[in-house]
Amino acid sequence: MAFQLHAITTGKLELAQASEAAASIQPFVDFIHIREKQRSAKELFHWAETFITRGVPAEKLIINDRVDVALATGAGGVQLTENSLPLRQVRSFAKNIKAGCSIHEPADAAAIQGEAVDWLLFGHLYETASKPGKQPKGLELLQTTVGFSRIPVIAIGGIMPHHVQEIKAAGAKGIAVMSGIFASKEPAVAASCYRAEIKKEEKQIDEYCG
């Protein structure tokens, strides 16, 4: 699979700001996650509908935790956490949407092999303001996690554009970015910078392979 770029809402913006940012970044990203843990299912439904109305393709939209909202809005998928319904139960009634799982240790990746999951979101990789005082996982643990997994691993946590090369070298199949995009004063510019770094790496690989 091509190296992916996921953008994730921060939970700190109002709907008007977040939907405007989402519409502006969607040409540069593979998926946009609505991760608003403090909001009700009704609010999340309204958020998803607004994002789609503003021009975000429904297939690019991923709803954090709430499978019901993802299905009700026709979103592309759901991101499951340790507090979500178990993946097997989700797949029993949601077979045709993408499903990602959030993990924190290599053992989590090993335990989930064989499940019908599209990606594993692993982090946090670097120091990040959203996880104050918590030790980052680092590249070595990312590489170990990739080694345990036949499922694509997407790295998250404190990732800046210049980190793309070393993350790809560790074997990850994508990155997920929160504040680096949605907290930027110019989200589209920020997203385009991440995409440019991904394309730069892809070009270097193509040139190396001839």
Summarised one tens digit per residue, pLDDT across range 13-71 is 999 999 999 999 999 999 999 999 999 999 999 999 999 999 999 999 999 999 999 99
Mean pLDDT over the full length of the chain: 94
pLDDT of 128 reads 86
pLDDT of residue 113: 87
SS (H, E, C) the chain: CCCEEEEECCCCCCHHHHHHHHHHHCCCCCEEEECCCCCCHHHHHHHHHHHHHCCCCHHHEEEECCHHHHHHHCCCEEEECCCCCCHHHHHHHCCCCEEEEEECCHHHHHHHCCCCCCEEEEECCCCCCCCCCCCCCHHHHHHHHHHHCCCCEEEECCCCHHHHHHHHHCCCCEEEECHHHHCCCCHHHHHHHHHHHHHHHHHHHHHHHC
What token pair was written down for 173?
């199949």
Burial class (CB in 10 A: 0-12, 13-18, 19+), 208: exposed
CA angle, corner 187, sides to 27 and 159, nearest 5?
Answer: 95
Q: What is the pLDDT of residue 129?
A: 79
pLDDT tens per residue across span 124-172:
999 987 777 789 999 999 999 999 999 999 999 999 999 999 999 999 9
Q: Is 2 exposed, middle or buried (0-12, 13-18, 19+ CB in 10 A)?
A: exposed
pLDDT tens figures, 161-208: 999 999 999 999 999 999 999 999 999 999 999 999 999 866 654 543
Enumerate the active-site residues: 124
pTM for this entry: 0.94
State in words which class domain 4-209 has. Answer: alpha beta
Residue 209: predicted pLDDT: 36
**What pLDDT sits at residue 134?**
85
Q: How many angstroms separate the CA atoms of 42 and 121, rounded?
A: 26
- Delimit the domains of the chain by residue range: 4-209
How far is CA 60 from each of CA 57, 63, 208, rounded to the nearest angstrom? 5, 10, 31
How far are the Cα atoms of 11, 42, 70, 183 from residue 49, in angstroms, in the given order? 17, 11, 10, 22
**pLDDT at residue 210 in the model:** 42
- What's residue 127's pLDDT? 92
pLDDT tens digit sequence for 62-119:
999 999 999 999 999 999 999 999 999 999 999 999 999 999 999 999 999 888 999 9
